Amino acid sequence: MPNSRFPTLVRLTPLRILMPSILVLSIFAAAVFLIFLPALEHSYRHHRKYVARDFVNVAVGMLERFKLEADLGRISESRAKHLGEEQLRAMRYGDERKDYIWINDLNSVMVMHPYRSDLEGKDLSDYTDSTGKAIFNEFISTALQGGGFVQYYWQFKDKPGAESRKTSYVRLYEPWGWVVGSGVYMADVQAQINQFRNRTFAGFGLLLLIVFLLQAYILRQAALSEQRAQRIKTQRERLFLALKEGEERYRTIADFAYDWEAWVGPDKTILYSSPACERITGHPPERFFENPTLMRDIVIPEDRKAWDTYAREMDRRESGTLDFRIRTSHGEERWVGAVARRVSGIKGKPLGVRYSFRDITDGKAMEEQLRHQALHDPLTALANRTLCLDRIEQAMHRAKRRESYYFAVAFLDLDRFKIINDSLGHRFGDLVLMETGNRLKSHVRSLDTVSRFGGDEFVLLLDELASPGEAISIVKRIRQSLSQPFRFGNHEVQTTGSFGIVLSPTGSDRPEDVLQHANIAMHRAKEAGRNHFKVFTTRMLDHAVDQLNLENDMRRGLAHGAFHVRYQPIMDISSNRVLGFEALARWDHPTRGSIPPSEFIPMAEDSGQISDLGRWVLRQSLKDLAEWRKQSDDTHHLFVSVNLSSKQFAQPDLDRSVLALLEEFGLPPSALKLEITESAIMDNPEAAVRVLKRLRSAGIGFSIDDFGTGYSSLSQLRQLPVDTLKVDRSFISRMNTDPENMEIVKAVIALAHSLDLNVIAEGVEDRDQLCSLLDLRCESVQGFYFHRPLTKQDAEAILFGRKAAEDAAQTQQTVAKKESPQEASDSDPIES
Ligand code: C2E
Ligand code: CA
Ligand code: CA
């Protein structure tokens, strides 16, 4: 009710305020004028009368003294009387010193009167006042009765006719028979009283005025202060309203804010908590009000230290942010991002800290996912190249700091993965890759890193090794596990891996170099045959440089006739007749001597020079065949079989250039067979089939080379327009020692026949093999048992003469000596 007090004050009229003072003053005035003043006047009148009496008594005392002087004889009686008269004449008293003493005798004769000397000596017994009173008779009778007061009217000498009421005291001085008197004019007394009355009245008037003025002043001040109060009040009300509105507005915003808004006071109590806290923490706002430590309690223990530091720092800092995790009331873990700002009041008075909390769980998860994605391979979830490089770098740092610290990086490439992928589909390929990742992980320790670089390339970082040798045994175990068959659904495949290993100390400064070295070593392992591993040596680096130089040399060699073609006869198994020749490229390097195709063909494929080489071999072999055909009628059935690399399918004009060459040398299409591997077709199936179909329809024959090493399915084989299968040498060479191989060869031959295809057995080296193949009703054979790849001249010797053939046999032996070491080592994997 505080505001009702102000209107009451406003309603108080001046009259109401004055009333009490008027009342008090009236009572006071009544008391003064009705009781006090009359009593005062009364006593004053008495006082004046008695002053006259006392004075008369004093005068009589004086006369007594003069009489005593006369009695003592010092002066005469008359002298005494005279002195007494004069003495009394001079005596005055009263306020204006005009009250006097007169003397008359018992005969009413005036003896002495200070103002009316005219009356002295006169008999005044007839002297009466206006009321008819014989004044002197009255004096005398009163004096004779012992003295007393007499009232009468007296006439002034200077104002004739004017009378004034007077009260006089008279006393007899017996010895001399004198009546001594003195009186007071009642008008004078009244005038004095009136004057006093008027003064009192005026005083009251003044008092009243002062009271009025005072009241007026008080009233005005009251009105002013009331106005001021009113103004302050309205201001305050307005301010209050504005504040309330502001607070309501803020509350509305804060209450509906998506983020959790909270205000923690300087004493760490929770001053405000928006309802969003329930969505984020599971706790309603009341909980935070009841328990101010709840805010800290929900922070998960791992992040509590960070939170404490953050909250403490907010006492000093203006603002700050922190990402931390909380546990909700449902036991869920969530990421929360806090933005805090210190709140200060007037003159910087600290009002606590305002917090804004946001649920950033999704963002964090995304961030985490992105980070993971950035560093991991999506298919296998293994580390990717970036993460692998980072780990290698860390290992290199450790190796620099620690004495007996060893690590190894192993680069793994799956052998023939592309064939698996192409023949059984990408889904199957993906499964193989994932399973490979699992196998790798199961053979390393948790501190090691397994990563995939895309395709079928994996890199292992083997960390904290007891010795470099430990890396080799780990790799051997992995190789063993990889060679176990992969089984998915109805399919089962077998693959192996080629490993390149770099052992610490690496001698490199950059992790990229370490990887490159591992890669070089892996390529060396691949070159050595499948399922190998090689440890990187600086010599390999030299080798890699040599490879580069070799590429240049090859370009030059092609232009300057460093290449030639060898011809290996393909024989009819029953008649022992030469059916045709397989054309095999040879390179005579000016400084390194003869370089085998196993070295320069992959290099030519890598560098893109395979097209030039292929075209050159084709032209050369067709040219030679055309010559032979011209020389004898017996040679009209001969064909050349030319190897075709998968890269050559990419040449758009391959079919046209092949046909043009045939035409150029006047050869029928049946004079040419093209050898393609299963994997070459699978590398680029559409292009392969397109080229195959065009050339096949033109009458050119096709053989599938190295059959059995790829994964051609029967249905795929049926769709290919080929006429010959060449069973891979690896099956033939072991068919008599390994019954499983015999079964495979048997099955392949049966399959080929069922598809109406011819079979050529490659790499026949002895009689046993030949007999077995005869039993299996294989039509054609090719191998060292019959002929090694022959020079043009040697081939001609076989074709055209015995003499020449004998010469050729000699040449053949020298060639065999030259070729056998590398060709013999082809079949069995040898570890470095
Ligand atoms: P390939 O097509 O399988 O050729 C047959 C390879 O087996 C030849 O090796 C040949 O010398 C060897 N060989 C033949 N009979 C026997 C035998 O009884 N025992 C043993 N151990 N080996 C035998 P070469 O000439 O070193 O050729 C290797 C590979 O190089 C060829 O394998 C072929 O894929 C490729 N190649 C050779 N010349 C060319 C070419 O002109 N173009 C293309 N694209 N590839 C070629
Ligand atoms: Ca071949
Ligand atoms: Ca072959």
Ligand sitting nearest the alpha carbon of 764: 1
More confident residue, 715 or 192: 192
Indicate the residue type of 267: D
Percent of the chain surpassing pLDDT 90: 53
Rounded to whole angstroms, the Cα distance separating 407 from 405 reads 7
Report the nearest atom of ligand 1 relative to the CA of 827: 21
Q: What mean pLDDT do residues 208-216 have?
A: 84
Residue with tokens 């009245």: 201
- Pairwise CA distance, residues 271 & 254, whole Å: 13
Give the residue, out of 613, 641, 643, with the most ligand 1 atoms within 8 A of its beta carbon, to mutate for a pocket test.
Answer: 643
d(CA 742, CA 778) in angstroms, rounded, equals 13
Distance (Å) of CA 675 to CA 110, 527, 625, 787: 196, 22, 17, 19
Q: Chain-wide mean pLDDT for the chain?
A: 87
3-state secondary structure of 173: strand
Over range 662-687, report the average pLDDT. 88
- CA 589–ligand 1 middle distance (angstroms): 18
**In this structure, which residue's CA is closest to atom 12 in ligand 1?**
763
Q: Give the position, in ligand 1's atom list, of the atom nearest the Cα of 706.
A: 3
565 beta partners = 585
Compute the chain's Rg from CA coordinates: 74
- Residues 412-430: what's their mean pLDDT? 86
Q: Which atom of ligand 1 is nearest to the CA of 644?
A: 44
Q: What spacing in Å lies between the alpha carbon of 582 and ligand 3's midpoint?
A: 10
Give the model's pLDDT for residue 829: 33
**pLDDT tens digits along 685-725:** 777 888 888 999 999 999 999 988 766 655 667 778 889 99
pLDDT in tens, 366-416: 888 888 888 999 899 999 999 999 999 999 999 989 888 999 999 999 988
Q: Given a cut of 60, is residue 441 above it in pLDDT?
A: yes
pLDDT at 828: 32
Question: Tokens in use for 143?
Answer: 């004096």
Ligand nearest to the CA of 680: 1
Q: Tens digits of per-residue pLDDT, 476-534?
A: 999 999 989 988 888 888 888 999 999 988 888 899 999 999 999 998 898 777 788 99
Q: Ligand nearest 702 Cα, by number?
A: 2
CA distances from 459 to 409, 435, 438, 453, 462 (A): 7, 15, 13, 7, 10
185, 291, 310, 216: which is closest to 15 by C-alpha? 216
What are the angstrom distances between the C-alpha of 578 and each of 776, 780, 795?
20, 10, 10
* Cα 687 to ligand 1 centroid, rounded to whole Å: 24
Residues with CB under 5 A from ligand 3 (ion): 705-706, 762
Nearest CA to ligand 1 atom 30: 597
2 pLDDT above the threshold of 80 = no
Closest residue by CA, ligand 1 atom 33: 643
Q: Are 451 and 388 in contact (CB under 8 A)?
A: yes
User: What single-letter DSSP state applies at residue 790?
Assistant: B
275-331 tens-digit pLDDT? 999 999 999 999 999 998 999 999 999 999 999 999 999 888 889 999 999 999 999
Q: Whose CA is nearest to atom 3 of ligand 1?
A: 706
Report d(CA 354, CA 488) in Å as an integer.
60
CA angle at 675 for the pair 673 and 678, rounded to the nearest 5° = 145
Q: How many angstroms separate the alpha carbon of residue 290 from the centre of ligand 3?
A: 86
- Dist. CA 568 → ligand 1 center (Å): 9
Ligand 1: atom nearest CA of 823 is 21
Q: How far apart are CA 771 and CA 769, in angstroms?
A: 5
pLDDT above 90: residue 109: yes
Cβ pair 731, 743 in contact under 8 A: no
Contacts of residue 449, Cβ cutoff 8 Å, sequence gap at least 6: 383, 387, 388, 391, 460, 461, 463
Distance CA 642, CA 567 (A): 10
pLDDT of 831 strictly over 60: no
420's CB contacts (< 8 A; 6+ apart) are 428, 429, 432, 493, 495, 711
Q: Are 645 and 605 in contact (CB under 8 A)?
A: yes
Query: How many of the other CB atoms lie within 10 Å of CB of 310?
Result: 18
**How many Å lie between the centroid of ligand 3 and the Cα of residue 167?**
181
**Atom number of ligand 1 nearest to Cα 765:** 18
Q: Encoding tokens for residue 543?
A: 């080798």
List pocket residues of ligand 1, CB cut-off 6 Å.
Answer: 568, 584-585, 596-598, 601, 614, 617, 643, 645, 675, 705-706, 729, 763-765, 782-784, 789, 823, 826
Tell me the best of 584, 760, 764, 815 to mutate to test the pocket of ligand 1, counting ligand atoms within 8 Å of each CB and taking the most: 584
What mean pLDDT do residues 225-243 have?
86
Residue with CA closest to ligand 1 atom 27: 597
Q: Which two tokens stand for residue 111?
A: 């003896």
- Arithmetic mean of pLDDT, 552-576: 94
463: pLDDT strictly greater than 50: yes
178-185 and 260-264 as β-strands: parallel, antiparallel, unpaired?
Answer: unpaired
pLDDT at 819 (0 to 100)? 46
Neighbour count for residue 110 (Cβ, 10 Å) = 20
Three-class DSSP labels, 284-319:
CHHHHHHCCCHHHHCECHHHHHHHHHHHHHCCCCCE
| CA 149 to centroid of ligand 1, rounded, Å | 185
Q: How confident is the model at residue 12 (pLDDT cuts 50, 70, 90)?
A: low
Residue 734: what pLDDT? Answer: 92
Three-state DSSP at 267 gives coil
* Cβ count near 300 (within 10 Å): 13
Which ligand lies nearest the alpha carbon of 601?
Answer: 1
Nearest ligand to residue 726 Cα: 3
The confidence score (pLDDT) of residue 26 equals 85
Token representation of residue 546 = 């040599």
Confidence bin at 188 (pLDDT 50/70/90):
confident
Q: Where are the beta strands (DSSP E) in 174-287?
A: 178-185, 260-264, 270-273
CA-CA distance, 41 to 209, in Å (whole number)? Answer: 26
Which of 642, 815, 823 gets mutated to test ligand 1 (max ligand atoms within 8 A of its CB)? 823
Q: Are strands 333-344 and 163-173 parallel, antiparallel or unpaired?
A: unpaired
Q: Distance between CA atoms of 744 and 740, rounded to whole angstroms? A: 6
Can you say how many angstroms the Cα of residue 734 is from the centroid of all Cα atoms in its chain?
A: 69
Say whether pLDDT at 736 is over 80.
Answer: yes
Helix or strand holding residue 163 (H, E):
strand 163-173
Å from CA of 823 to ligand 3 middle: 13
pLDDT at 15 over 80: no
From CA 30, how far away is CA 740, in angstroms rounded? 153
Angle at 753 between CA 751 and CA 756, to 5 degrees: 115
Task: State the distance from the centre of ligand 2 to the C-alpha of 738, rounded, in angstroms.
Answer: 24
Query: Which residue lies with its CA nearest to atom 34 of ligand 1?
Result: 643
Give the CA distances from residue 688 to residues 416, 582, 620, 652, in Å, rounded to whole numbers and listed in that order. 19, 21, 23, 11
pLDDT at 695: 92
Q: Which ligand is nearest to the CA of 706?
A: 3
What letter represents residue 264's amino acid? V
Give the closest residue to 558 by CA, choosing from 519, 518, 600: 600
The helix/strand/coil state of 154 is strand
> Per residue in 593-624, pLDDT tens?
999 999 899 889 888 899 999 999 999 999 99
Q: Is 515 left (phi over 0), alpha (psi -120 to 50) or beta?
A: alpha
Question: CA-CA distance, 172 to 148, in Å (whole number)?
Answer: 10
Higher local confidence (pLDDT), 548 or 89: 89
**Residue nearest (by alpha carbon) to ligand 1 atom 41:** 585
Ligand 1 atom index nearest CA of 648: 44
Q: Give the number of the atom of ligand 1 that is nearest the alpha carbon of residue 785.
A: 18
pLDDT at 421: 83
Contact, 704 vs 725, CB < 8 A? yes
Strands 578-589 and 563-572: antiparallel
Q: Whose CA is nearest to atom 19 of ligand 1?
A: 763
Concatenate the DSSP letters of all residues of 603-650 into one string: HHHHHTTHHHHHHHHHHHHHHHHHHHHHH-GGGTT-EEEEE--GGGGG
> What are φ and ψ of residue 122, in 5° steps?
-95, 145
pLDDT surpasses 70 at 200 = yes
For ligand 1, atom 42, the nearest C-alpha belongs to 643
Residue 823, pLDDT > 50, answer no
pLDDT band per the 50, 70, 90 thresholds, residue 818: very low
Ligand showing the shortest atom-to-Cα distance for residue 703: 2
CB 755 within 8 A of CB 717: yes
pLDDT at 816: 47
Render the burial of 762-790: b for 16+ CB within 10 Å, e for the rest.
Answer: bbbeeeebbebbeebebbbbbbbbbbbbb
Least confident of 154-158, 495-499, 743-747: 154-158
Gap between the Cα atoms of 305 and 311, Å rounded: 10
Tell me which H or E stretch contains 581.
strand 578-589
- Is pLDDT above 60 for 643? yes
- At 824 the pLDDT is 33
Residue 822 has pLDDT above 50, yes or no: no
Distance from residue 648's CA to the centre of ligand 3 (Å):
17
pLDDT beyond 80 at 791 = yes
> Could you give the CA distance from residue 340 to residue 263 in angstroms, rounded to a whole number?
9
Highest-pLDDT range among 93-107, 174-188, 299-313, 675-689: 299-313
Q: Which residue, judged by its Cα, is nearest atom 37 of ligand 1?
A: 584
Does the pTM surpass 0.75? The reply is: no
Residue nearest to atom 43 of ligand 1 (CA): 643
- For residues 8 and 738, which has the higher predicted lDDT (pLDDT)? 738
Q: H-helix or E-strand containing 57?
A: helix 37-71
In the chain, what percentage of residues exceed pLDDT 70?
93
